[in-house]
Each structure stands twice: as structure tokens, then as C-alpha cells.
Amino acid sequence: MPAAIRIKNLTKVFPVPFRRERVVAVKDLSLEVEPGQVYGLLGPNGSGKSTTMKIVLGLIPPTAGSTEIFGRESLKVDSREDVGFLPENPYFYKYLTGRETLRFYGKICGIRGRALEERTRELLELVGLEQAHDRRLGGYSKGMLQRIGLAQALIQEPQLLVLDEPTAGVDPAGSRQIRDLILGFKERGITVLLCSHLLGQVQEICDRIGILHRGVLVREGRLDDLISIENQTELILENASPDLLARIERMVRDETGVRIVEQRKPQTTLERYFLEVTGIDGKGTEAHKS
Amino acid sequence: MKAADAALDRPARTRHKTFSPTRILAISSNTVLELVRLKVFHFFLLFALLIIGSSAFMVNFSFQEQFQVLKDVSLGAMSIFTWLLAVLSTAMLLPKDIEDRTLYTILAKPVPRFEYLIGKLLGVLVLLLIATIVMGGMFAATLYFRQEMVIAQGMKDYAGSTQAEIDAMVRQVHESTFTWSLLPGVVLIYLKAALFASLTLFISTFASSWIFTVIISVVIYLIGHVQATAREYWMLTGNLTPVKQIFLGLVALIFPDLQLFNLIDDIVVGNVIAMSMFVKTAGLGVIYLGVYLLVAYIVFAGKEL
């Protein structure tokens, strides 16, 4: 099976209007995303992430090099049959309701009639917007807009999702909901190319990452390989007595070249603590109401 | 299995087609819905007030004058309103989609850029058609109402006259109101607005803002109206250097000669328009519309989003 995304020696140069200068947004970038992978493309602002995404989606042509989606050249329209895209901070047509939005995107993907109605209903349920299906998008919250954005990206059942900052500006509950949805895509074998500044979230869901800096891919590889500390081991015990801990410490001291680097009580994440305190569950609703 | 799970597990894809009228229809009907929900049709109220108001001020005129003024005001207002509607509604379509990043979500689907442009333009053309039909209907209703009032008054004035005299009076009134040449007049009003919708769409493919697009469209509207006069003036003065000749040729090629669409003025005064003249003018309008759409596509196809 061909790679979900194949980028070969990609370079993109933008001319600066009214000047002779040129800005190199991406320089000789090569990477591959395997089918079923969740790939995190990281980098500071202006590092070339969005430009790379746009070239992959065929929205802008490369200056040099090539990009392919499942073996089909990105600039060809039919390569987008298998792609769903959620841009950063999208504003969909405010005058449409959630259901109308999905119908519109379904129609432009060639889905019609009962199949479209069924698909719209399923996706509204998937992203938890079935109660808000007849509300206009102008009245949706940021989190709801991101979720309807995810639903439109999924309308034609793509095998590749390109998500640009999918949780930007979303509250912790909404953010967790979106993260859970992405994990659901991963379970079902959908390839995800994710751009995010939230490194904690990327760490939770990505299999592989690439770090772009000034248009150059400075690191690339499996997340576990890149961030694990090879010569250290983490051991988390439950209900360990002080006596047992003292024995372990003694055993470690007796070994040559081995030492306890740190001993502390594990902490919950601030996100989990926040959700616990506010009583909001994974679906974004207050637990006592559900 | 829950419906939500099915949403991810069951494919709903169809084979990609290079050209799909369904996709164009989806984009155009969405454009019509967008403009309707923006309440652009509120100007109908203004149009109704204008023609009803103008007919109320004409009671002291002869009926021929009344009908002529009514036609003049109504067709003139229709021409300006459809043109304004074409320019203002088209100018914001593309920049708004780019600004809101909605365009990315559409073009990231298997939608060719030419289908997107055709869909948008078609949406505006449908809107203009609805506007022309509604305004035409309001104009026809007002004209009919005035005609019946004049005939009723005539019946009173002709009391005791012979049937032949009454018939002549009624025929004279009818000849001053509805004539077949009104229809080509309305068609030309529509085509002029459609031409400007296409031109505005073209400008919006490279313009930096919708205000810039509107300003350029207005400037072209003015050039289109004065270019024939300017050409005639230079030709009459005999002061036509080769540079001026090339300049005039370029202006005539790029900008539509809108004076040609002023056949409406002849129609209002009751002149019969030759079919060949109408077909020629309408054909020119359609050609300009097609050329502007083609150039819009060439610019838009190479646009880096």
C-alpha cells in the first residue's frame, strides 16, 4: 500500500511583493506518513507547517519537489477524494445550520439522497452535535465549530485527515473531546496529520513526529524513540508501605552504578483535575446531568 | 452498532468525476441561500416605493406621459438595482470565503477550481434572475393597475360616445402601456447585470478587498458608459494619433460598451427594437460574460491560497 503522505525534496519560496527578496518557507523537506499513523508536525510560528499542509492539500503548488496522497499527486483534484481537512480557526458559513453544513459538504463530495441524510445524522452523533443540528453556526461556540469542522472533514469517509490546530481556542472539555475523537480515528486506522502547539496533546496521541524550524525538518521519528531516556526506568507502585520503599532503596544502593534519580508521588494532569472539579465528562456535558 | 461508529466504518464515497453538475449546483444553491439569508432582497421594498411613489406624482400628466414616465423610472430603477445587486453581492463572495478559510475546506474536497467559480457565478445569476422577475412583475402590475385606472376614467369621459370611439380610446391606452419591446428591454437589463457579476467575480480573484473590487467595478461601469462618446468625440475632431487609436482599441476590447445596452431608452419612448439589434446586443453581453469568467478562472487557477 502506498504511503498516506509522501513528501519528496519539497521546497516552497514566496516572493515578497515590490521587493527582490524571497522567503523560503520550506526547504528540501522529505517525509512519509504511513497509513494508520497519527503524525504530529510541530514547529514554532512561521516554521512552514501550514505551508506544508497547504501543499499536501494542493492549495498551493510547490516551488520544487513533490507531494503525494496515497500515491496520487497532490495537485490533482482526485487526490482529495481521500482527504478531510480542518483548517486553523475555521469559520464555516454562519447562515447554515449544523445539518445544512454537512449536507453542503456531502453534496460537493458527490453524496446524495438517503446516503447523505444517513451520513449527516451519523456524523452529528459522532461529534455530539445532534441536539444542535438545527442551530445556525453563527450561534455555535468555538468548540462546537471545531467539532462541526471535524464532521465536515469526515463527510466522504476519508482515509487521511489533515488537522491544523484542531483544539486552538477550545476549552479543556472541548479539547479533550476532540482529542478523544482523534484517538477514535486512530483506532479505526484513519491516518491523521496533526499540527498543534499543544505538545502535551501531541505526545498523547501521535505515533510519529516531525519538528520543523525555519522551513527545515530538524528532527523526525517515532515519538517514543525521540523522547524516551534510554538509561532510565520509571516504576510506579500502588499501596507500597514505607518498609517496602526502604527495602527497594537499600537494594538500589547495593547495586553499582545504579541510583534513584527522583522519588515522588505521581500527579494527575491539570486537565484531568479541572474536568473532575467541574464535573464535565468526556462528552462535554456535566456528569450529574447526563 | 451505534450510528456514530458506523460513521467511521462505512464508506460513503463515490467515484470522482472531472466535471460534476451536482457539485456546481450544490455551490450555486448555497450561494443563493447565502445571499437570501443576508436579506439582499430587502431592496424590493425600495423599488416598490419608488414606482408607486412616481406614479402617484403624475396625476396631472396625459396618460401617454404617465406611462412613459412610469416605464422610464421603473426600467431605470431595475437597471440600477440589478447592477448594484450584481456588483455588491459578487464582490464579497470570494474574499469572504478566503478570509473565513471556508474556501480551504471546499477546495480541499475533490472540487476543481473552475466548478467553484461557475457555482458562485451561477448562484448570483439565479439571484439576479429572481430579482429581475420580481421587479418586472411589480412593474407590470403597477403598469396594469394604472392602465385600468386610465381606462375606467376614459369610460367616464367617453360616456355617450360611440362604441368605435371607446374601442379606439382603449386601444390607444393599451398601445401606450404593454408592448412586446418591453420584454427584450428587461432581458437586456438582466444581461447587463449578469455581465457585471462575471466582471466583478474576475476582479475579486486578484483584488485585495471587496471594497477595492466594488470601486473597480464602478469605474468600469463609468468607462463602459462614456467610452463610445469619447471615441466619437476623438473621431469627429480628427485628432486621432496612432497611440490614441491603440488606446481606444484596447479600451473597446477590455471594457464592454454599455451604451449598446441603452436600447431601453428607445423602448421607453415606444420605438420598436429590431430583433437583429437585440440578438447582437444580447450576444455581446453573453460573450463578455463568458470571457470574464474564463479570465477569472485563469487568474484563480494560479492563485496561491
Q: What is the pLDDT of residues B112-143, one digit of tens each?
A: 999 999 999 999 999 999 999 999 998 898 88
pTM to 2 decimal places: 0.84
Q: Which of A75, A92, A108, A125 would you mutate first to test chain B, the one with the most B CBs within 10 A?
A: A108
**Are A242 and A191 part of one and the same domain?**
no
Which uninterrupted H or E stretch holds B171?
Answer: helix B163-176
Top-ranked range on mean pLDDT: pick from B196-205, B218-227, B231-240: B196-205
Q: What is the pLDDT of residue B14?
A: 52
Q: What is the pLDDT of residue A281?
A: 59
Q: What is the pLDDT of residues A96-140, one digit of tens each?
A: 999 999 999 999 998 989 999 999 999 999 988 989 899 999 999
Considering only the beta carbons, identify the residue of A78, A81, A87 that sits closest to B101: A87
Quickly list DSSP for B122-166. HHHHHHHHHHHHHHHHHHHHHHHHHHHHHHHHHHHHTTTS-HHHH
**Are A272 and A214 part of one and the same domain?**
no
Considering only the beta carbons, identify the residue of B7, B13, B109 that sits closest to A105: B109
Contacts of B7 in chain A (CB under 8 A): 119, 122-123, 125-126, 154
| pLDDT reading at B51 higher than 90 | no
Contacts of A83 in chain B (CB under 8 A): 108
Cβ separation B101–A190 shorter than 8 A: no
Domain that includes residue B200, residue range? 21-29+40-301
Q: What is the pLDDT of residue B6?
A: 54
Cβ separation A90–B100 shorter than 8 A: yes
Contacts of B26 in chain A (CB under 8 A): 104, 107-108
Domain count within chain B: 1
**Are A141 and A244 part of one and the same domain?**
no
Give the residue on A whose Cα is nearest the Cα of B112: A77
Quote the ipTM score.
0.83
Considering only the beta carbons, identify the residue of B2, B13, B25 that sits closest to A157: B13
Q: What is the dihedral of CA A173, A178, A184, A189, to 10 degrees?
A: -160
Give the three-state DSSP class for B270.
coil
State the amino acid at position B56 in one-letter form: A
**Are A25 and A124 part of one and the same domain?**
yes
Cβ separation A81–B27 shorter than 8 A: no
Considering only the beta carbons, identify the residue of B7, B16, B105 that sits closest to A85: B105
How much is the average pLDDT of B89-95? 92
d(CA B77, CA B47): 7
Contacts of B101 in chain A (CB under 8 A): 87-91
Percent of chain A scoring above 90 in pLDDT: 49
Q: What is the pLDDT of residue A61?
A: 93
Cβ separation B108–A105 shorter than 8 A: no
Q: What is the pLDDT of residues B157-199, one digit of tens each?
A: 888 888 888 888 888 888 878 777 788 889 999 999 999 999 9
Cβ separation B13–A156 shorter than 8 A: yes
Cβ separation A108–B26 shorter than 8 A: yes
Going by DSSP bridges, is the β-strand pair A191-195/A38-42 parallel, antiparallel, or unpaired?
parallel
| pLDDT reading at A155 higher than 80 | yes
Contacts of A157 in chain B (CB under 8 A): 8, 10-13
d(CA A31, CA A216): 11
Give the residue on A whose Cα is nearest the Cα of B102: A92
Percent of chain B scoring above 90 in pLDDT: 38
**Are A124 and A268 part of one and the same domain?**
no
Considering only the beta carbons, identify the residue of B23, B100, B105 that sits closest to A152: B105
**Are A153 and A268 part of one and the same domain?**
no
Residue with the three cell numbers 450576444: B283
The Cα of A211 is separated from the nearest Cα of chain B by a number of Å equal to: 24
**Are A204 and A241 part of one and the same domain?**
no
**Are A137 and A274 part of one and the same domain?**
no
Q: What is the pLDDT of residues A12-63, one digit of tens each?
A: 999 887 777 889 999 999 999 999 999 999 988 888 999 999 999 999 999 9
**Are A168 and A266 part of one and the same domain?**
no
From residue B170, alpha-carbon distances to B149, B151, B182 in Å are 11, 6, 19
CATH number for A194: 3.40.50.300
The Cα of B247 is separated from the nearest Cα of chain A by a number of Å equal to: 27
How would you class B34 by CB atoms within 10 Å of its CB: exposed for 0-12, middle for 13-18, buried for 19 or more? buried
Q: Which of A54, A109, A120, A124 would you mutate first to test chain B, the one with the most B CBs within 10 A?
A: A109
Retrieve residue A2's grid coordinates: 502506498
pLDDT category of residue B261 using cuts at 50, 70 and 90: confident
d(CA A195, CA A209): 10
Quickly list DSSP for B182-233. HHHHHHHHHHHHHHHHHHHHHHHTT-SSHHHHHHHHHHHHHHHHHHHHHHHH
Size of interface A-B (CB pairs under 8 A): 133
Interface of B with A in 234-253 (CB under 8 A): none
Residue with the three cell numbers 505551508: A51
Cβ separation B107–A104 shorter than 8 A: no
d(CA B305, CA B298): 14
**Are A39 and A63 part of one and the same domain?**
yes
Q: What is the dihedral of CA B199, B203, B204, B210, to 10 degrees?
A: -100
| pLDDT reading at B5 higher than 60 | no
How much is the average pLDDT of A168-179? 82
Give the residue on A whose Cα is nearest the Cα of B10: A157
Decide if B5 is inside a domain. no
Cβ separation B8–A107 shorter than 8 A: no
| pLDDT reading at B48 higher than 90 | no
**Are A210 and A126 part of one and the same domain?**
yes
Q: Is B171 an 8 Å CB contact of chain A? A: no
Going by DSSP bridges, is the β-strand pair A64-69/A5-15 parallel, antiparallel, or unpaired?
antiparallel
From residue B211, alpha-carbon distances to B40, B87, B164, B201, B297 in Å are 17, 11, 60, 13, 21
How much is the average pLDDT of B47-58? 75
Decide if B1 is inside a domain. no
The Cα of A104 is separated from the nearest Cα of chain B by a number of Å equal to: 7
Q: What is the pLDDT of residues A247-270, one digit of tens each?
A: 999 999 899 889 888 888 877 776
Q: Which of B97, B98, B105 would you mutate first to test chain A, the one with the most A CBs within 10 A?
A: B105
Top-ranked range on mean pLDDT: pick from B25-34, B51-60, B247-256: B25-34
d(CA A135, CA A137): 6
Give the residue on B whose Cα is nearest the Cα of A129: B4
**Are A131 and A275 part of one and the same domain?**
no
Decide if B163 is inside a domain. yes
Contacts of A109 in chain B (CB under 8 A): 13-14, 109-110
Contacts of B100 in chain A (CB under 8 A): 90-92
Q: What is the pLDDT of residue B15?
A: 62
Give the residue on B whose Cα is nearest the Cα of A185: B8
Q: What is the pLDDT of residue A93?
A: 92
Q: Is B208 an 8 Å CB contact of chain A? A: no
- How high is the mean pLDDT of chain B? 85
Domain count within chain A: 2
Considering only the beta carbons, identify the residue of A14, A88, A93 that sits closest to B34: A93
Residue with the three cell numbers 467610452: B227
Decide if B48 is inside a domain. yes
- How high is the mean pLDDT of chain A? 87
Decide if B142 is inside a domain. yes
d(CA B32, CA B29): 5
Domain that includes residue A122, residue range? 5-227
| pLDDT reading at B90 higher than 80 | yes
d(CA A69, CA A48): 19
Q: What is the pLDDT of residue A287?
A: 47
Between CA B111 and CA A90, with CA B121 as vertex, the angle to 5 degrees is: 50
Give the three-state DSSP class for A240.
coil
